[in-house]
Structures are given as structure tokens and as C-alpha cells.
Amino acid sequence: MIRFHVNVDHVATVRNARGTRYPDPVLAAQLCEQAGADGITCHLREDRRHIRDDDVFRLRTSIDTVLNLEMAATEEMARIAEKVRPDVITLVPERREEQTTEGGLDVIENRKAIQPISELCERLGIKLSLFVEADERQLAASKAVGARQVELHTGRYCDATGAEADAQLVRLRGGARRAHDLGLGVAAGHGLTRHNLIAVAGIDVIEELNIGHAVIADAVIVGLRESVRGFRDAIMRGVHSRSEPAADSRRR
């Protein structure tokens, strides 16, 4: 079974747009758990554009599954993480002017900033995951810096069509296999929908998917419980396809 973690950032985006106390991302997280989510992801950004510090602390004490805290490799975030004690820390690249995360973390370039957080995770028993491209050098560097898991950036695959999408899927398969061979857990995320995730879930070494924006977008139409259940069904279609001949499931 692939673990399905729901990112509740954009529940907070809606709340913050009007400066109200609703909708509450913590309540949304609990509803996601009730609908079958295996974990909750949130990204505490430097500018606090969606999730805020209080949200993270409330999530830590309110959910029953796994809390995955996405954050930049900074001293400020390390201090917060030490207080929160999430189950997983996922280090991501972050630029204030970006609309959403634009690519994988350059582990080689940022090793000096990552190392203290890796040591913090080791000391506190927190799983360290790095959000990276499916690139052999970045995967090897992730292992060397002490990560237990990588989350492969699926954005390029999700944005592509036709032959380019097929090529990106091949790249993801190769990266997933290489990460697995290095002894790393393999997750994937960014831009995944109920339709394009099926082929990703069909990669036999993928253990976890992190999905946020599309879950919340679907929830606007069908409700949060039905949205989570729909994604869970799509993931199972991908898992079942592992025993079938290779095919691009996004076209089904």
C-alpha cells in the first residue's frame, strides 16, 4: 500500500484570504484522516502565506496519523521544528517570490545548511526527507547527508503532455529505482491529480504520495471526504497496474 499524505496548506490559503478563523486547516486535516489519509503535510513558509506557526503546533496535538512538516533549511525553521517534533521533516527549496515550489532542492549546493537539520533529526528521531529531482547526483547527495527518504519532484511530468510526459515518467521511474537501490525511502509529489497520479503510483518502489492543491480543489466541488476517497481510489488503480504491462495511465 502506498501512503497517502494530504497537504492542507490551501485550506489555510482560503482562510487567510479573508483574515478569518475559518476554514480551519486542523479540522480539514482531521476530516482527511477520517476519509483515509495516512498522514498530513503542511509547509511553513518564511512569509507565512498559508500555514502559520500556530497551525503547525495545533496539528501536532490534534491529528492521529503522521505529521510531515515541509520547510526550508534555515535556523528559524530548525528552531520551530525542534519545538514541534513532527514525525517527518521534508526540506524544500523556497523563494519568497515564487507562486509554488518550482523544483527540487539542490542538495549538493545546500549541504552546509542541510547538515545541522540532519543532525537535529538524528538526535530527535525524526525522519528526514528531501524534496529533490530524479537526478542521480542529487539522490547520492541526499543519502550522504543523512536523509532517510527522498520525495521526487513530479512537477515536470505533471506539466508535460504526449511524448514529453512519457519521457518524464521514464525519468521518474529511473530516479525512484536509483533512490531505492541507495536504501532511501521513495515518495513523490507536486502537481499530482487523480488522473496523472495513476502512472506514478504504478512505479513499484514508490512508497508515499504527497498531494495538496488538487485535493483541496476537488473538495471545493465534491467535499473533502469524497475528494480524499477519490484520490485513494486513484492510488489503488496505480498500485494494481504494477502487475500489468507498462502503460501511461494518465491517458485512461
Catalytic residue among 5, 10, 153, 190: 190
Q: How many CB atoms lie within 10 A of CB 37?
A: 27
Q: Are strands 39-43 and 66-71 parallel, antiparallel or unpaired?
A: parallel
* Residue 70 annotated as catalytic: yes
Q: C-alpha grid cell for residue 74?
A: 534555515
Residue of 10, 43, 153, 180 with catalytic role = 43
Cell numbers describing residue 143: 543519502
Ramachandran class of 162: left when φ > 0, alpha when ψ lies in -120 to 50, beta otherwise = left
CA-derived radius of gyration, the chain: 17
Assess whether 151 carries a catalytic annotation.
Answer: no
Helix (H) or strand (E) holding 163: helix 162-181
Going by the DSSP 8-state scheme, the letter that residue 47 receives in this structure is T
Active site residue 5: no
Residue 107 CB neighbour total at 10 angstroms: 26
* Active-site residue (options: 10, 50, 70, 153): 70
User: How far is Cα of residue 220 from the mean position of the Cα atoms in its chain?
Assistant: 21
Hey, which residues are catalytic here? Answer: 43, 70, 190
